Amino acid sequence: MPSVKIKTTLFAMLLLCIYPMQSIARESSTDVNEQKIDEQKDKNTVVHDPNDKNESPETTNADIEPSPNSEDKNNVSPGNNDKKEDTSSSSSQKTSVEETSLSDQELAELNAALAEDNKTRNEDKKESSLSNYKSPVASAIQSMNPDMAVILDVAGAYFTNDNNLQTGGHDPTKSGFNLQQLEMSLAASVDPFFRFDANLVFSLFGVEVEEAYATTLALPWGLQARAGQFLTRFGRINNTHPHTWDFVDQPFAIGKFFGSEGNRNLGAEISMLMPLPWYVEIVTSAMGPYGSATNRSYFGSSDRDLSSPADLVYTIAIKQFFTPLDRFSIFFGLSAQLGPLPTGYDNRADIYGTDLTMKYKFDADTSLAFQAEALFRLRQYPHRLLFDAAGYAQLIWQIDKQWALGTRTEVGTGIDDDPLDPEWKTTRARYSVQGTYFPSHFSRLRVQVSIDDPRWRDEPIFATFLALEVVVGTHAAHQY
């Protein structure tokens, strides 16, 4: 039986390649079937001009019974069934069929093969429709299944001075092994109107809700809002996480002005994409002024109550993006933040910043990127006004998909008798170089060497890091 099936299948394929399916459906392959069709045609003959091909026949599909070897009517075009061939084409097709007539056994086997093929197609369609069907319960369950990623950052470190002046909450801070963070990232669309994002950070001492906020998806006029706890979009580095950094530690300017965890708190934000020929976004936000690790330039660890909306911290930023050349892009930003100080009635602290990122892509895997950011701070204290500044500049060469090199320079000024940093009396500079190897998109090895030169100390601080990062799960794309 296998040989018969193979023979039948091969013959069917040959026949279908030579003759159109419509010819097989209309013409019989044996003398008996030709006689039946001729008899049926005689019963339904309509007198017409054989040379007039535009004349419509009076008979329909319902008037003609299909021949025994015709295919399923669902596989035949209705337009082909309604038309009649002219006399010359009909006779030529009959001659061709007679030359390749089938035996009764071969015809039966062909019909059986075609029927089996139709049955298989119908079963496939049924299975496809069942697999694509989702009940309301299943859809609701899927909406509660967010994209989730777990990110581990660990580092081995060596410092020549135990008092190493690291200012970042995720920085290596001691010689030996350091758990920089274990971050769990969650993201999901709540409905057509909101998206939810959260970042939970696990440390050796507990769990911290770093960010948890909802973002609108359907506001008009290029507007978007979010509410909850989030990192403010001041500058370039502040609202990023360690797995997006180009160096093992964060620039000390962020820790000096905002705190070890960066500037964040509970609040609300609204942004607008301007209708201009290039990318221009305006961002404004308001949030609480508390937190020694997130708002050290404002209320910090003070438990002073809010007395008016003026006691909130307000941030405004303008972000612009240009592509003057196909492979060259520029990102430029201006930021300002205003907040209260607990040093006296109506005392204020203002922080201003500017950032610039330029990137040239040689190809899909090779690029050279320059990034710089500068921050300036004004604080009102009784009988004096304090001013200081800090910033960094870095250059990253992405050699290919797996290798990158980078260098960074940081500078910060100091103030005599600064209530926040009494030791930081003069200029501090730090220089770092790094080499990074990416085994894949989900892992990273980085070596970094730095020299920290606080001018108020007699000797600089040398540091060496070997950092490992691994990522599992689905994580959102990083910002430009």
pLDDT digits (tens, 9 = 90+) for 47-97: 444 444 444 434 433 343 444 343 443 443 444 444 444 444 444 444 444
**Residue 128 sits in the same domain as residue 159:** no
Domain that holds residue 178: 140-473
- Residue 443 CA to residue 228 CA, distance in Å, equals 30
**Residue 339 sits in the same domain as residue 466:** yes
**Residue 151 sits in the same domain as residue 285:** yes
Quote the number of domains for the chain: 2
478 lies in a domain?
no
Judged by DSSP in three states, 274 sits in: coil
264 lies in a domain?
yes
**Residue 109 sits in the same domain as residue 148:** no
The answer on pLDDT for 27 being more than 60 is no
Domain boundary among 132, 164, 179: 132
**Residue 144 sits in the same domain as residue 113:** no
447 lies in a domain?
yes
Do residues 460 and 446 lie in contact, with contact meaning Cβ atoms separated by under 8 Å?
A: no
Domain boundary among 94, 109, 132: 132
**Residue 452 sits in the same domain as residue 369:** yes
The pLDDT of residue 343 is 84
Question: With bands split at pLDDT 50, 70 and 90, how would you rate the model's confidence at 18?
Answer: very low
**Residue 66 sits in the same domain as residue 188:** no
Task: Give pLDDT tens digits for 251-302.
Answer: 999 999 999 999 999 999 999 999 999 999 999 999 999 999 999 999 988 8
**Residue 66 sits in the same domain as residue 21:** yes
Judged by DSSP in three states, 172 sits in: coil
10 lies in a domain?
yes
Do residues 444 and 438 lie in contact, with contact meaning Cβ atoms separated by under 8 Å?
A: yes
Domain boundary among 132, 151, 177: 132
- Residue 480 CA to residue 332 CA, distance in Å, equals 12
Which tokens is 124 given? 């496939």
Q: Can you give the pTM of this predicted structure? A: 0.70
**Residue 109 sits in the same domain as residue 145:** no
**Residue 192 sits in the same domain as residue 76:** no
Of residues 257 and 382, more confidence is placed in 257
CATH code at position 169: 2.40.160.10
480 lies in a domain?
no
206 lies in a domain?
yes
Task: Give pLDDT tens digits for 421-476.
Answer: 999 999 999 999 999 999 999 999 999 999 999 999 999 999 999 999 999 987 65
Specify the DSSP element, H or E, that contains 169. none
- Within 10 angstroms of residue 260's Cβ, the number of other Cβ atoms is 18
479 lies in a domain?
no
The pLDDT of residue 203 is 86
